[in-house]
Amino acid sequence: MPLTDIAIRTAKPRDKAYKLYDGGGLYLGIQSNGGKWWRYEYRFGGKRKLLALGVYPDVSLADARERHAGARKTLAAGNDPSETKKEAKRAVLLKSENTFEAIAREWHTTNLNTWTPKHGTDVIKRLESNIFPKLGNRPINDITAPELLSILRIIEKRGALDLTQTIAQYCRRIFSYANATGRGERNPAIDLRGALKTPVRKHHAHLKASELPEYLQKLEVYDGELQTKLALKMLLLTFVRTTELRGAEWSEVNFDKAEWRIPAERMKMKDPHIVPLCTQAITILRELQKHTGNRQHVFANHHNPSTFMSENTMLYALYRMGYHSRTTGHGFRATASTVLNENGFAPDVIERQLAHIERNKVRAAYNHAQYLPERRKMMQWWGDYVDAVAGGNDKELSAILGRSHNAA
């Protein structure tokens, strides 16, 4: 006989558990402690099985019958209701574990060893400030391209176009990571290409070749610190990044081979870099050796013996010389690149010396020494060129320009 609400409410516990049947395998189990549990008793694969349908009164008689009916349909379709329920629970759990934030943090941890500590901190802070509050709790497979776009547009409206592009790139990588680890199905961030405003790129201010003679004359009479003056000369001759020059250590310099080997951890792209040293650069280093040869760093910090020249030292020197907004330390890279390209040096050789690293990781493993003989010749040509320009020797400069095409 089917159960009624009154019969269920008035059912009292006994010394032993007992059952009140509703029909079709559905029953209410009355426990000795007073608990009332809905169960569906059925057979699957020749075995007796039980499916928990909830606890009374949280699950009413009507609710229990509805769940029972669903389970019977599952059984009629040839599936085990218990396994179907377990699978549903696993899916819910998987969704909760595979939120965007959870996977993003896992991606971040996985990549930490390839980033500098500062970059690693910047990445997670940007995600925490701009993405996690809106998308962090969302299952990664539920996020759509329009939904992601709406979040990025909020950043874009602040005028932070570079940040918008950066975070969009993070998202592309996070979705790709989810796909690669078997928890993602698509990459909605890829669909956003062309949907965001592109920031106008401002190139580093740099000197033209025609402006070098005046600059070198001003540098020669610069009345500031000798170390700063020599650092600016060395920066022009080697056209490395300012942070790479400032952090140079004497242990990295090999006078016999006339080369400076910058270790991977100090390079922007985390790949070791060889700088062939022209005779002019060797002369500067010999002069510096008299002043800082007993220190760890070539360009030692006068105020703190354990570290090196501050990041603004060379920049402020350029300001004093009248080059505010006209060039920066980084700008000498563009100046050298332009002159070398215009004088017939192979673009691949120039790019390698600029440490614009090969993105293919297999090639990158040995690429730090690629074109080294050509680079040695090119760097000596550049040193001679700078010397001739500084001295105003047109005849010597003409001879140097005439041999440029055979230098690499």
* CA gap 379, 334 in Å, rounded: 15
Please give the pLDDT value at position 200.
64
Give the DSSP H/E element, type plus range, for residue 36: strand 36-44
Please give the pLDDT value at position 364.
47
* CA gap 7, 401 in Å, rounded: 106
Please give the pLDDT value at position 328.
84
CA dihedral 327, 247, 232, 385 (to 10 degrees): -100
Residues taking part in catalysis: 241, 268, 330, 333, 356, 366
> 30 has which bridge partners?
18, 36
Residue closest to 258 by CA, chosen among 286, 227, 228: 286
Low-confidence ranges of the chain (pLDDT < 50): 359-366, 406-408
Please give the pLDDT value at position 359.
44
Please give the pLDDT value at position 368.
55
Domains and CATH numbers, the chain: 5-83 (3.30.160.390), 100-192 (1.10.150.130), 209-406 (1.10.443.10)
* CA gap 214, 67 in Å, rounded: 87
Instruction: Residue 84: count other Cβ atoms within 10 Å of its Cβ.
Output: 16
* CA gap 323, 215 in Å, rounded: 9
pTM of the model: 0.53
Q: Which residue pairs from 54-59 have beta carbons closer than 8 angstroms and sit at least 24 positions apart in sequence? A: 56/8, 56/28
Please give the pLDDT value at position 365.
46
* CA gap 238, 376 in Å, rounded: 11
Give the DSSP H/E element, type plus range, for residue 54: strand 47-56
Please give the pLDDT value at position 92.
61
Whether residue 57 is preceded by a cis peptide bond, meaning omega within 30 degrees of 0, is yes
